[in-house]
């Protein structure tokens, strides 16, 4: 009887597995260095010593793209990039799809389905762009209303699945070529844009003036002079 009690006591003492799981979760969370992100955001805002919530309202989403080998402003390696711009200082930052949620604004959040849709297009040039990709491209000004309408019409037509399947007897080479061109346009829009290139028209931008505090140049597109940096 006494030995059974001892066995139960030793069993209860030898199962501290939950603390180990908690420690692992803390390590994963610590990979996102919020203090580093906050410093990068505040130093590029109009009021570096201001309130975090107020400062977050100065930032807008200007671009997203999917590319391995990138780094968030918190220093965590990322694949899914969100490019945000301060509307007051015109400064830009790259943050991941996790840290962008720390701004607490739905205008900056990017649905995971958008990045999944972009990945699908990069893997298969005949895949259909998802509604989330088309919607976000329209919201960012990357895709025109006419382009989105034509794409949706073509993608929802009768027999559209077999027309874009090379292994099917009803495969339409002409329509497949057109879809490849459209998908290339979408992927070109959702890409990393060099600072001296206009995100909308691809024209090389020129320096219009220097930032008074950071001494960094402001770039402007000759076609759209109000694009910012």
Q: Is the pLDDT of residue 95 over 70?
A: yes
* Nearest-angstrom CA–CA distance, 19 and 133: 41
Greatest mean pLDDT among 13-27, 47-61, 207-221 lies in 47-61
Q: What is the pLDDT of residue 191?
A: 83
CB 207 within 8 A of CB 195: no
Q: Who has greater pLDDT, 114 or 23?
A: 114
First CA to last CA across the chain, in angstroms? 79
- Residue whose token pair is 């959702």: 190
Q: What is the pLDDT of residue 226?
A: 41
Global pTM value: 0.65
The alpha carbon of residue 80 and the mean position of all alpha carbons in its chain are separated, in whole angstroms, by 5
Q: What is the pLDDT of residue 22?
A: 36
Q: What is the pLDDT of residue 229?
A: 35
Q: What is the pLDDT of residue 158?
A: 60
Q: Sign (positive/negative) of CA torsion 202, 129, 137, 103?
A: negative
Q: What is the pLDDT of residue 18?
A: 43
Q: Is the pLDDT of residue 205 over 70?
A: no
Taking residues 98-105, report their average pLDDT.
Answer: 89
pLDDT tens track for 57-74: 999 998 889 988 889 999
Q: Who has greater pLDDT, 126 or 21?
A: 126
CB 109 within 8 A of CB 101: yes
User: What value does the mean pLDDT of the chain take?
Assistant: 75
Q: Is the pLDDT of residue 118 over 90?
A: yes
Greatest mean pLDDT among 24-33, 75-84, 195-204 lies in 75-84
Angle between the N-to-C axes of helices 112-123 and 131-139, in degrees from 0 to 180, rounded to the nearest 10: 110
CA distances from 57 to 51, 102, 115, 160, 213 (A): 10, 12, 24, 43, 21
């Amino acid at each position: 009887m006494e030995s059974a009690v001892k066995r139960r006591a030793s069993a209860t003492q030898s199962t501290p597995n939950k603390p180990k799981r908690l420690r692992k979760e803390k390590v994963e969370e610590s990979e996102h260095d919020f203090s580093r992100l906050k410093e990068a955001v505040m130093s590029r805002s109009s009021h570096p010593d201001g309130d975090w919530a107020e400062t977050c309202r100065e930032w807008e989403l200007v671009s997203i793209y999917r590319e391995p080998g990138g780094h968030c402003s918190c220093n965590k390696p990322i694949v899914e990039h969100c490019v945000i711009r301060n509307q007051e200082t015109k400064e830009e930052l790259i943050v991941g799809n996790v840290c962008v949620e720390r701004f607490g604004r739905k205008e900056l959040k990017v649905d995971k389905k958008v990045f999944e849709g972009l990945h699908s297009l990069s893997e298969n040039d005949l895949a259909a762009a998802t509604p989330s990709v088309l919607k976000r491209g329209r919201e960012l000004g990357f895709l025109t209303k006419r382009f989105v309408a034509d794409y949706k019409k073509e993608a929802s037509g009768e027999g559209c699945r077999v027309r874009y399947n090379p292994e099917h007897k009803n495969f339409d080479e002409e329509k497949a070529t057109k879809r490849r061109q459209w998908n290339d346009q979408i992927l070109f829009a959702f890409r990393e844009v060099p600072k001296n290139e206009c995100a909308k028209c691809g024209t090389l931008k020129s320096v219009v003036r220097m930032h008074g505090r950071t001494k960094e140049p402001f770039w402007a597109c000759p076609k759209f002079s109000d694009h910012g940096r």
